[in-house]
């Protein structure tokens, strides 16, 4: 696997695909800088070698139209502040103005190109557009895991124009290594914690990881499909009736493969989907009509904690309750604390997938786990066993 460490960038221009698709408030200020911070080490490596960095990214979904609200000009000051170098900006990503800016770029400088998705050709993976982008650098560095599952011009097709000079940035290399730790090389016992609302959205992941894990903890809304499939009463809890056979099949497969499935035994139930609803702790299979499970109960959390503490490799994908509401966040916080403790004891812990990453950030666990993935969809597709086009393009 070629990484940025395989190259010396002295007198070279690195064309770096970063993921600066960051949230902006109504004043166009960046509200979460973690993606910019994640790209910093790769950019600094180029500059410290004595090269120049040309950064390209998308922001939002402008659908091939120039939209001033989604201009990367809004983030130039924040990127400059984080990297510690005044970043130059050009209001296009191909064409005469870009060619002129590239020609003037000196070693030690950073140039940010305008939003790639102002061009329809980006998402279509257009070869002509990719070839124009390729003229902006001597070495192509892909450091954007968040878009590695898309065969876009800047993430995949552009690599064709750098047959010998393409590599992974530090961030993307770390993402690949972290997923390999869970899926292939991690110390056993390996535990996957899968939460979220629906079995249907996690089925491919479950089927792919059953050969690789020793324990599968199931939480969140998925719980109730498994419980009802086994004859339990789930009241008004979210449940996919058409996936009950699938749930039973998963349990059968797990048993055949020697994987222990851990389901909640008790839940915090509410009489409405509301933070101020009346609540009570109930056995997970005895929820009456008019009530719905919205968080894991105390015995469940104790059971989950023991499994997590006995694990050497941990994957967490999805919360175990409706953590967005304070009264139903205790389960997700408890799981985070258990993973924190296991990590301190030497376990490797990987958190990935939109909601679990949001929960980890909200409750301050991002520095207490081994790695927090920066790519939602890309992370999920990796766990499903798919080869991501952006990764294949560098390896090929």
Q: What is the DSSP string of 11-66?
A: T-EEEEE------B-TT--BS--HHHHHHHHHHHHHHHHT-EEEEE---S--TTS-
Annotated binding site for ATP: 202, 293, 324, 353-356
Cβ 159 vs Cβ 393: under 8 Å: yes
4-171 against 186-383: fold identical: yes
- CATH code linked to domain 186-383: 3.40.50.1260
Binding residues: 19-21, 35, 58-61, 117, 150, 202, 293, 324, 353-356
**Domain coordinates in residue numbering, the chain:** 4-171, 186-383
What pLDDT score does 385 carry?
85
Q: Which of 64, 108, 232, 354 is catalytic?
A: 354
Q: Decide if 377 is catalytic.
A: yes
Q: Which of 2, 198, 312, 337 is catalytic?
A: 198
Strands lying side by side in the sheet with 215-218:
260-262, 215-218, 190-194, 313-317, 348-351, 371-372
Task: Say whether 386 is catalytic.
Answer: no
pTM over 0.85? The answer is yes
Tens-binned pLDDT, residue by residue, of the chain (396 aa) = 899 999 999 999 999 999 999 999 999 999 999 899 999 999 999 999 999 999 999 999 999 999 999 999 999 999 999 999 999 999 999 999 999 999 999 999 999 999 999 999 999 999 999 999 999 999 999 999 989 999 999 999 999 999 999 999 999 999 999 999 998 899 999 999 999 888 888 888 998 999 999 999 999 999 999 999 999 999 999 999 999 999 999 999 999 999 999 999 999 999 999 999 999 999 999 999 999 999 999 999 999 999 999 999 999 999 999 999 999 999 999 999 999 999 999 999 999 876 888 899 899 999 999 999 877 778 888 888 888 999 999 998
Q: Which of 12, 13, 17, 35 is catalytic?
A: 35
Please list, in sequence order, all residues whose beta carbon lies within 8 angstroms of the beta carbon of residue 242, skipping any fewer than 6 positions away. Answer: none
78 classed as catalytic: no
Amino acid 387: pLDDT: 85
Question: Hey, what are 382's tokens?
Answer: 């990796």
Pick the catalytic residue: 64, 232, 377, 385? 377
| The predicted structure's pLDDT at residue 354 | 64
CATH assignment of 4-171, given 3.50.50.60, 3.40.50.1110, 3.40.50.1260, 3.90.1150.10?
A: 3.40.50.1260
Helix, strand counts (H, E) of the chain: 14, 17
Active site residue 354: yes
Residues 6+ apart with CB under 8 A from 82: 33, 36, 37, 40
């Amino acid at each position: 696997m070629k990484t940025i460490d395989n190259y010396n960038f002295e007198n070279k221009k690195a064309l770096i695909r970063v993921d600066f698709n960051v949230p902006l408030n109504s004043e166009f200020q960046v509200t979460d800088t973690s993606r910019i911070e994640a790209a910093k080490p790769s950019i600094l490596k180029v500059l410290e070698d004595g090269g120049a960095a040309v950064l390209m990214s998308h922001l939002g979904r402008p659908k091939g139209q120039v939209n001033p609200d989604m201009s990367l000009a809004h983030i130039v000051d924040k990127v400059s502040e984080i990297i510690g170098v005044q970043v130059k900006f050009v209001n296009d990503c191909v064409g005469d103005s870009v060619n002129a800016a590239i020609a003037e770029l000196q070693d030690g400088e950073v140039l940010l190109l305008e939003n790639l998705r102002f061009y329809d050709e980006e998402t279509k993976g257009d070869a002509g557009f990719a070839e124009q982008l390729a003229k902006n650098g001597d070495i192509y560095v892909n450091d954007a895991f968040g878009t590695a599952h898309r065969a876009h011009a800047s993430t995949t097709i552009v690599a064709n124009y750098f047959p010998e000079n393409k590599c992974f940035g530090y961030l993307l290399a770390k993402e690949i290594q972290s997923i390999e730790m869970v899926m292939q090389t991690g110390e056993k016992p390996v535990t996957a914690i899968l939460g979220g609302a629906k079995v249907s959205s996690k089925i491919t992941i479950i089927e792919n990881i059953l050969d690789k894990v020793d324990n599968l903890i199931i939480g969140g809304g998925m719980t109730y499909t498994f419980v009802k499939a086994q004859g339990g009463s789930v009241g008004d809890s979210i449940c996919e009736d058409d996936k009950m056979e699938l749930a039973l099949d998963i349990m059968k497969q797990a048993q055949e493969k020697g994987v222990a499935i851990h389901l909640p035994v008790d839940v915090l139930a509410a009489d409405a989907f509301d933070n101020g609803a009346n609540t009570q702790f109930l056995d997970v299979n005895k929820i009456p009509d008019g009530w719905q499970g919205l968080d894991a109960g105390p015995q469940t959390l104790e059971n989950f904690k023991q499994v997590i503490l006995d694990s050497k490799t941990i994957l967490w994908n999805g919360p175990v309750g409706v953590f967005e509401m304070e009264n139903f966040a205790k389960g997700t916080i408890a799981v985070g604390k258990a993973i924190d403790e296991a990590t301190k004891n030497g376990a490797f812990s990987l958190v990935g997938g939109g909601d679990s990453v949001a929960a980890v950030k909200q409750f301050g666990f991002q520095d207490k786990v081994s790695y927090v993935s920066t790519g939602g969809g890309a992370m999920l597709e990796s766990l499903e066993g798919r080869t991501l086009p952006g990764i294949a393009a560098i390896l090929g």
